Amino acid sequence: MKWLVMFVFTLVPFMAVYGSQAEELKFSKFEYYNGKNPFFSSFDTKISFKSENKVFTMSLNNVRVNTKFGYTFPHANILATCGLQQNAPWFAPEVDFTFWRISTIHWGGWMFGETAKPKMEIPRFFFALNAIYFSVKPVTLSYTLLHFFENKPDHIPGISFSQPINRNFVWSIGSDYSTKDASPMFNIGMKFTP
């Protein structure tokens, strides 16, 4: 089992290095968010690099770090993801689609052990996330179906507002609602693109 863990955790960085040899990945954006939404709680940072048809992203916060590498197409992205969640390794494929003002994310993963209790064993279901977004700038409406481990799925509607500050910076504010916990989630963020 140890070889499988090592294989998964060398696969994504290897793909990124191998892919960058064919065409250079260039810095494309830096994002910082604080608050809570279906993707993060507390602070979250993300740095992305992109070429004509490849993308590499690294995200981190106080309990999670992950990398994504994949290929971009006119209306889709196909990505491989791996990371650590409270010291437990995980991996997940991701497929994103975009058409007109609608975009979707389909992302599901498996973990070796449990959060804060990693084990070298057959990976178990970690999460499934399916989200749909409808954007009419500057407003985006969203719906996320999120499922962690054996917990009850969470249906999360949301709304966000984004506004450019200048050519390089965009700030955003958002609110989502966890139907499982019957509680709102608020977040604010900033995105820099060169």
> 1-41 pLDDT, tens per residue?
444 554 555 555 555 555 555 568 899 999 999 998 888 87
Cα-based distances in Å from 20 to 8, 47, 161, 165, 181: 19, 16, 34, 32, 42
What predicted TM-score, i.e. pTM, was given to this entire model?
0.85
Show Cβ contacts of residue 142 under 8 Å, excluding neighbours closer than 6 positions: 131, 132, 133, 134, 156, 157, 158, 159, 160, 176
pLDDT score, position 161: 98
Nearest-10 Cα torsion for 44, 49, 55, 56: -60
Distance (Å, rounded) from C-alpha 18 to C-alpha 16? 6
125-156 in b/e form (b: 16+ CB < 10 A) is: ebbebebebebeeeebebebebbeeeeeebeb
Question: Greater confidence, 185 or 40?
Answer: 185
Tell me the CB-side half-sphere exposure of residue 24, using CA atoms within 13 A: 2
Residue 133 in this model has a pLDDT that exceeds 90: yes
pLDDT score, position 65: 86
pLDDT score, position 3: 46
Structural domain of residue 50, as residue ranges? 2-192
Residue 190 in this model has a pLDDT that exceeds 80: yes
Residue 58 in this model has a pLDDT that exceeds 70: yes
Q: How confident is the prediction for the chain on average, in pLDDT?
A: 88
> 96-119 pLDDT, tens per residue?
999 999 999 999 999 988 888 887
The H or E element that residue 6 is part of is helix 2-22
Q: Which residue has the tokens 């494929």?
A: 93
Instruction: Give the confidence band of 142 by pLDDT, cuts at 50, 70, 90.
Output: very high
* Mean pLDDT in residue range 83-107: 94
Q: Phi/psi at 19 (nearest 5 deg)?
A: -65, -35
> 62-81 pLDDT, tens per residue?
888 889 999 999 999 999 99
**What's the structural domain count of the chain?**
1
- Angle of CA points 62, 63, 65, to nearest 5°: 95
What is the share, in percent, of the chain residues with pLDDT greater than 70?
88
Q: Supply the CATH number for residue 64's domain.
A: 2.40.160.40
DSSP state of 137: T
What is the share, in percent, of the chain residues with pLDDT greater than 90?
63
